[in-house]
Every structure is written in C-alpha cells, then in structure tokens.
C-alpha cells in the first residue's frame, strides 16, 4: 500500500468543516490508512483499532468545527496524530482500570490470575523505579503528559521552555526512560 503524501490548505479545511462529501471521503480514506498503520501496532484487536479511528475522526471533526478550529491548515496531519495519541492513552488507561468479566461457564484459574498479577506488579515497580531514576524535570514531564494528561502549553510554562524545545526534551526523556527500564528489566532476567 503506497500512500501519496498530501498537503492541506485552508480551502481543504473549509470544505471539510462545511461537510463536503468528497472532501470527507478523502480525509477519512487518507487518514484512515495512516491511523490503521499506527494503531495496528499498538492495539490488540481490529475492533479496538476501528474504535480508536472513529473516535479520532469524531474529535477532529468536532475540533475543526469549533470557533478558532485549526490554527494552520498545514498542521492538520500533526493535529490528527495528536488527537489519535490522546485517544490511545485514554484507551490504555481505561484498559488498566477495567478487568474483563469472568465467564460464568468456566471457573476462574486463580493460579494464572496470581501469576498475571505478580507480573503486572513487577512491571509497575520497574516503571516506578525507571521514573524515579530520572531527573525531577524529566520525571515531571512524563508524569504530566502521560499520567495526568496536562496541556502542553501549561507544561511549557511550568518548565520555562518553548513548545519547539518541548518536543526535543520529550524525545530525550523518553529515550532516557526506555534505557532505565531496559536496565531494570535486564537485572530481573539475570
């Protein structure tokens, strides 16, 4: 599947907001393919992928139709990606808060549940330790973005940095976190 890259202009956004069927079809086909590629690697089922795509489209359309909408037509792709990331994080959080209901026909296997609980607890502890190993500013950045879902502009003000540097800082911080997590995981294996 070869995807032709598109550049978006204000006319495209206006047609999208006004409900032009052809523009909506193009938008959902173009971004549907991109989102599917992204979501397939992050979600378990095709149903979850489709739900995340539809939720992303709904939020994007809602945001575009609000007064002020999108500041720059050229940033439509980045905006769709950011909305999709928020949908993904919400799905991850909701999966963590809810457990599947037990099937009435099969008795629960408490040994498997204990093993799973133990592994999940160990993983949570490694994440906590990896976060604790980061400098305070980097630790706060990850917590604010991924656990508290704070606004990026608020974070920039809090850290006294501009939006462009936030991307750089976040990239470096995620790499540091991954390194710490890998170190901790390798210690468990040894």
- In this prediction, residues 26-33 reach a mean pLDDT of 89
- In this prediction, residues 16-34 reach a mean pLDDT of 89
Q: Where are the domains of the chain?
A: 10-97, 124-189
- Both tokens assigned to 169: 């800082």
User: Over 50: is that where the pLDDT of 99 sits?
Assistant: no
Q: Which CA distances in Å does 26 have to 19, 61, 85, 168? A: 12, 14, 21, 32
pLDDT given for residue 119 in this prediction: 54
- In this prediction, residues 72-84 reach a mean pLDDT of 86
pLDDT given for residue 187 in this prediction: 65
Q: Are 144 and 155 in contact (CB under 8 A)?
A: yes
pLDDT given for residue 76 in this prediction: 86
Kindly report, residue by residue over 50-67, the tens digit of the pLDDT.
999 999 999 988 888 887
Helix (H, G, I), strand (E, B) or coil at 81: helix
pLDDT given for residue 72 in this prediction: 81
Of 85, 118, 113, nearest to 99 (Cα)? 113
- Both tokens assigned to 167: 């991307």
Kindly report, residue by residue over 118-175, the tens digit of the pLDDT.
556 677 788 888 889 999 999 999 888 888 888 899 999 999 999 889 999 999 999 9
CATH tag, 124-189: 1.10.10.10
| DSSP letter for each residue of 29-90 | HHHHHHHHHHHHTT-SSHHHHHHHHHHHHHHHHHHHHSTT--S-GGGHHHHHHHHHHHHHHH
The CATH number of domain 10-97 is 1.10.10:
no
Band of pLDDT at residue 188, cut at 50, 70 and 90: low
User: Over 70: is that where the pLDDT of 28 sits?
Assistant: yes
Band of pLDDT at residue 22, cut at 50, 70 and 90: very high
CA dihedral 111, 114, 115, 118 (to 10 degrees): -170
Please list the alpha-helical segments (H only) found in 98-150.
110-132, 136-142
Judge whether 10-97 and 124-189 match in fold. Answer: no
Q: Report the helix count and the strand count for the chain, using DSSP H and E.
A: 8, 0
- Give the pTM: 0.49
pLDDT given for residue 172 in this prediction: 93
Band of pLDDT at residue 108, cut at 50, 70 and 90: low
Q: Count CB-CB contacts under 10 A for residue 65.
A: 12
């Amino acid at each position: 599947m070869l995807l032709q890259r598109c550049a978006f202009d204000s006319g495209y956004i206006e047609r999208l907001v006004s409900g032009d069927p052809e523009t909506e079809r193009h938008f959902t086909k173009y971004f549907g393919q991109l989102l599917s590629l992204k979501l397939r690697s992050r979600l378990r089922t095709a149903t979850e992928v489709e739900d995340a795509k539809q939720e992303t489209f709904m939020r994007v359309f809602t945001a575009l139709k609000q007064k002020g909408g999108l500041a720059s037509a050229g940033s439509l792709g980045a905006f769709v990606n950011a909305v999709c990331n928020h949908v993904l994080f919400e799905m991850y959080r909701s999966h963590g808060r809810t457990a599947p209901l037990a099937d009435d026909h099969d008795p629960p296997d408490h040994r498997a549940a204990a093993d799973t609980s133990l592994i999940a607890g160990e993983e949570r502890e490694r994440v906590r330790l990896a976060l604790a190993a980061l400098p305070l500013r980097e630790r706060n950045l990850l917590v604010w973005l991924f656990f508290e879902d704070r606004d990026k502009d608020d974070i920039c003000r809090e850290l006294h940095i501009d939006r462009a540097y936030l991307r750089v800082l976040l990239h470096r911080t995620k790499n540091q976190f991954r390194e710490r997590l890998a170190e901790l995981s390798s210690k468990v294996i040894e």
